[in-house]
């Protein structure tokens, strides 16, 4: 069976989540990118590692951590490929851990949502996000779950790159801890009770 056929077969599977889940936080490596809007995926996984007391280690194509939660194995990945090549790391660790699309959750920033709005989706387009665009290209499908963290779009024309790579405003920083904590709960819920139940429980909060 080809890689694409394997993904297609598994993404059509509506059964409960498997006992192993890959959680991918998107971001860019390097101190100049720390705690910027585009790195919210990294920040959410870092905060979850503190709450759940697990540690990342340097592995091929990223920082990786393995964690047990309610009888399930969660594999956390922060790609070190830079945003535009995120799909390379995602595909490698899916193959390495034998995890199919319906058991992958990509945590990403989203310009199309107001700041602090959180949405989990089962599939969708890349929405102009370069990390999602590369994941879609490498996996040859849009059908993989993602957790979208709204960063708003309060920038002038032609300043999108500067905006996503800039730090949060003081007002946003005050609201971030509660929103990041909510995302952590959604990640753990996804891994234990599945996509649909998590969307029903949390979307809109």
Question: Each residue of 58-80: pLDDT tens digit?
Answer: 999 999 999 999 999 999 999 99
Antiparallel, parallel or unpaired: β 57-59 and 62-69: antiparallel
**pLDDT confidence band for 19 (50 / 70 / 90):** confident
For the segment(s) 19-202, the CATH number from 3.90.1150.10, 3.30.930.10, 3.40.50.1370, 3.40.50.1470 is: 3.40.50.1470
Give pLDDT, residue 18: 53
CA dist., res. 194 & res. 185, Å (int):
13
Domain boundaries, the chain: 19-202
Give pTM, 2 decimals. Answer: 0.89
Q: Which of 35, 38, 69, 129 is catalytic?
A: 38
CA dist., res. 174 & res. 176, Å (int):
6
CA dist., res. 183 & res. 45, Å (int):
9
- Asked about 38 being catalytic, the answer comes back as yes
């Amino acid at each position: 069976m080809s890689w694409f056929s394997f993904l297609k077969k598994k993404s059509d599977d509506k059964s409960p989540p498997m006992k192993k889940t890959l959680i991918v936080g998107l971001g860019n490596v390097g101190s100049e990118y720390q705690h910027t809007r585009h790195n919210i995926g990294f920040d959410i996984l870092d905060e979850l590692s503190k709450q759940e007391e697990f540690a990342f280690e340097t592995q091929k194509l990223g920082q990786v951590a393995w964690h047990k939660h309610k009888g399930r194995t969660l594999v956390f990945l922060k790609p070190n490929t830079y945003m535009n090549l995120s799909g390379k790391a995602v595909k490698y660790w899916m193959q390495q851990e034998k995890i199919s699309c319906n058991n992958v959750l990509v945590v990403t920033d989203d310009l199309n949502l107001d700041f602090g709005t959180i949405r989990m989706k089962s599939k969708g387009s890349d929405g102009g996000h370069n990390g999602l665009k590369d994941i879609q290209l490498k996996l040859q499908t849009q059908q993989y779950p993602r957790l979208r963290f709204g960063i708003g779009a309060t920038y002038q024309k032609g300043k999108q790159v500067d905006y996503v790579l800039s730090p949060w405003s003081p007002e946003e920083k005050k609201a971030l801890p509660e929103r990041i904590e909510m995302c952590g709960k959604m990640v753990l819920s996804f891994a234990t009770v599945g996509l649909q139940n998590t969307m029903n429980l949390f979307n809109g909060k």
